[in-house]
Chain A
Amino acid sequence: MSEQQGKRKVSRRKFLVRGGLGTIGLLTLGTYVFRNPLRRMGFAAAETLIPPYSGTGTEINLWFEITEANKVILHSPKVEMGQGTFTSLAQIVADELDVDMEQVEVKAAATETGIVDGMSTGGSLSIASLWMPLREMAATLREMIKTEAAAKLQRNVADLNTSAGMVSGGGQSLSYAEVAAGVQEWNVPDTPPLRPTKDYKFIGRPIKRVDLAPKVFGDPIFGMDAEMPDMLHACIIRPEHVGAKFKSADTRKAESMPGVVKVVQLDDWVGVIAESISQALAAKRTIKVEWDIPKQWTEADIRELLQVGKGNKMITQKVGQALEAEAEDVVSMEFTSPIGAHAQIEPNGAVALVKDGRATVILSTQVIGVTQRQVSEALDLPLEKVNIIPTYLGGGFGRRLNTSHAIQAAQMSRAVGRPVKYFFTRKEEFQNDTFRPPTHHIMRGKLTAAGRLEGLEHHYASGDVAINSVIVPQALHSILGTDIGAMRGANLYYDKVPNHRAVQWHTTLPFATSWWRSLGLLANIFAVESFVDEMAIRAGKDPVQFRLDHISEEGFGPRIRAVIAKAGERYRDGVVRGRAMGFAASIDGGSPAAHVVEVSIEDEEIKVHKVLCVFDCGVAVNPDQVRAQCEGSIVMGMSGAMHEKMTLKDGQLYPTIYGPYDMALMRNTPKEVEVVLIEGADTPFPVGEPPMGPIGAAVGNAVRRLTGKRLTELPLR
């Protein structure tokens, strides 16, 4: 893959000067699109391929600005939601543009001012997909500056050097800002050769996050912090019951409440717009809404719907023969995972102004382009009249891959002709989430007399993850015939098992389910790695060696084997002083991870004392932030696997608040979390989700050794 990427160049285009904002700016025209089309290599490729970065925009789009203070502003097509992307992008720019870290500022591009990613910020792909294009563009810009400087200094380009935002040669030097001043039109040279990774000063170093100070001093950087002059505050009534349809609302009392400017009834929702948010919330409490609730969904209904053997069947992996399910020597086990909530701390919301045929929406979103289209369609405004301005996100985790609530903020603003800020209450977040779907798994396996796996099967049922998502073209699902999100981690990487397969059963549930950090990975790997561990026990084999025995040296095999072997060095079977270890591994998006956990049971609760995570994401642009993502994935994964659960009761999803929605807190966090990074590839691979894969199974496997009991349900208890 890297060789192919190496041949790609930024096509020769004009860079223009941006004026009027007091900065000396550079604009690029058009977008950067990989020459190679997305290859479709079956399901295996869909799972591991890094999709090309493809920007949107048909107008002049801004990538870089050089300011009078000789700083470079990168208008990032990807948003920062905690994953550290802005820092890594700044490192990439600094290295190829020859500026210092302090000279780079990263801003999320708005649809009006820059290129926004046409799909999303998600899939742990920001760095992996921008690695090549951003370095090429930065290097190209450096050459442009040198070319221009050569003219100004009357020297040959070859005699000039760049460093820390200065071009120098023959005893003279100019800052980039001085070079750019007054330039009306730039000629773009061919992209120069990129530097070898080892020569980079910033890439590969644990540079501190560029957003550290704003986040430690409480700067107003989030969507929830946005304000516009003369802004009003609003809230919306959303249904509590699954599948409830709006019938009517009595808003008379609310209309006369203090501070209420307008109560809006549109389509199937009611919005209260007031001078202050507490006035809006107080008025909201007086509104009675009649809902049509066709069915009081229960947990049992969902479990009945969602089962292996029901829904849309698709074999997502098939090697050799199927096992005979009823045969005596076939071991079969069932696993389940519950509905999960995103529970990101910053609620969804938006600040919108719709006036004079234009819409401006400021919000935390992972889908800037999609939101622009949604607002444009809903308000019947031309696309270019809708400007979506993304902010820092107070958590993404996949929840902000659908931010259609921007529409309601815009509609309310249009109704009052003033800016309106609107956000979800926490209860609305919990009851109107795009949940992680519950899953059901049947694992089957067969051992040979020598204790080798002869057959291994993973049958998995899931609700929507990618299917019905606004960011995935429905055509793709017709082509693939499967939910590629639910598939994450479902296919088996034990390729030396002569007969192995994965079979998906997909069902669309009566409530929205969608992307949740790592998609199907957490539940799928829980089932697969718990079962493989159980088979190792039945075979009387060491669980680390048992895994290695079934993974070839083909494809990703060597990298998976490397993390398993490395983590395996620290694994010990058996119970020591009331503690046992558990082992599990996974590969997601080409990034393998292996976990060793140390667990005890205290007051009937599973306590995780230590976690070792060995992880290979290829080039770690910022190793410290890769570690941070591993730590976060592990503890959030523990939260998902050991604590969290949404339940349907009397037609409503519960709980609706933190606390009852049990999540890992400080006291549940292991005192020791160690991350070991292996650089098994020369390009960056996904980071934000893959290390979450093994954690549930690793804990379950430790409990199995401690108690003899195999836990088959998430959350583990």
Chain B
Amino acid sequence: MKIAFTINGQAQSVDIADGNTPLLWVVRDILHLKGTKYGCGKAACGACTLHVDGEAIRSCSYAVKFAAGKDVTTIEGLGTRENPHPVQQAWMEYVVPQCGYCQPGFIMATAALLEKNPNPTDEDIDNNIVNVCRCATYVRMRKAIHRAAELKQSTSPTTNQ
């Protein structure tokens, strides 16, 4: 079946036999965007988090057929080195990543959070950011999330996705 959607602002169409194939594998292996990670395949770790129509989605548990006609954003489309998303900017300011593998998932989850809750409290962060980081970079991540909220409020909305 042919499935058409927008990814990182570009129209995209994939031809795939099984529409139940997780979006994760379509993004990684067909569209060759490797920033969205496989961690558990069970929607438990959050490494595969991307946005579908602005909502944080765990793409290992999201059949590609559901993406039809929707707007998908991955870490590659969130920001660039020249124009980083406020979350990416804050992540660099606080030097959050260690091994880095889980970080795109955390960054995407945080970006989605800030769209809906521009000034999250510590409790909001605890409730919403439930991805798993084995290096346990949570100490800096919390600081970076607060910083990203600040940056986002002080930058124009056009710098966002």
Contacts and interface: CB of A to CB of B under 8 A. Distances in A.
| A/B: CB atoms within 8 Å of each other | yes
A565 interface: no
Nearest to A81: B99
B98 A628 contact: yes
A209 B136 contact: no
Contact of A666 (B88, B103, B129): B129
Contacts of B35: 217-220
Interface in B45-76: 45, 47, 74-76
A216 B84 contact: yes
Contact of A425 (B41, B81, B84): B41
A544 interface: no
A81 B98 CA distance: 7
Interface size class of B (residues with CB under 8 A): 35 or more
Contact of B97 (A209, A224, A629, A659): A209
Given A345-B47, A659-B44, A666-B142, A278 B21 contact: yes
A209 B96 CA distance: 10
Contacts of A214: 100
Interface string B128-141: 01111111111111
B95 A208 contact: yes
A343 interface: yes
Interface in A56-114: 81-84
B39 interface: yes
B136 A673 contact: no
Interface string B1-43: 0000000000000000110011001000100111111111110
A628 B41 CA distance: 28
Contacts of A423: 38
Given A84-B98, A258-B17, A276-B25, A346 B88 contact: no
Interface in A177-211: 208-209, 211
A283 to B, nearest CB: 12
A666 B141 contact: yes
Considering residues B44, B101, B133, B137, which has the most beta carbons from chain A within 10 angstroms of its beta carbon?
B101
B76 A658 contact: no
A348 to B, nearest CB: 12
B93 to A, nearest CB: 9
Contacts of B133: 345
Given A259-B17, A345-B132, A218 B76 contact: yes
A215 to B, nearest CB: 3
Interface string A388-414: 000011111100000000000000000
Interface stretch (A119-127, A325-333, A471-479, A630-638): A630-638
Given A278-B22, A345-B102, A217 B39 contact: no
A225 B88 contact: no
B41 to A, nearest CB: 6
Contacts of A219: 34-35
Interface in A300-348: 342-347
B37 A224 contact: yes
Contacts of A667: 126-127, 130
Interface in B66-123: 74-76, 79-81, 84, 88, 91-92, 95-104, 107, 122
Contacts of A657: 40, 42, 44
A379 interface: no
Judged by DSSP, the binding face of B is loop
B136 A394 contact: no
A152 interface: no
B38 A347 contact: yes
A227 B136 contact: no
Contacts of B79: 217
Interface residues of A, number: 66
A213 interface: yes
A625 B97 CA distance: 10
Contacts of A279: 18
A639 interface: yes
Contacts of B151: none
A625 B137 CA distance: 12
A277 B95 contact: no
Interface in A118-162: none
B38 to A, nearest CB: 6
B101 to A, nearest CB: 3
A282 B99 contact: no
A392 to B, nearest CB: 7
Contacts of A664: 136, 138
B111 to A, nearest CB: 12
A657 B17 CA distance: 29
A96 to B, nearest CB: 24
Contacts of B137: 628, 631-632
A393 B125 CA distance: 27
A161 to B, nearest CB: 32
Interface string A266-308: 0000000000111100100000000000000000000000000
17 contacts: A208-B92, A217-B76, A217-B84, A219-B34, A224-B34, A225-B34, A258-B17, A345-B132, A394-B37, A426-B42, A628-B137, A629-B98, A657-B42, A658-B42, A659-B44, A663-B134, A665-B132
Given A347-B38, A669-B139, 12 more contacts: A218-B75, A344-B101, A345-B39, A346-B99, A425-B41, A426-B45, A624-B95, A628-B140, A658-B42, A666-B125, A666-B130, A671-B122
Interface of B: 17-18, 21-22, 25, 29, 32-42, 44-45, 47, 74-76, 79-81, 84, 88, 91-92, 95-104, 107, 122, 125-127, 129-142
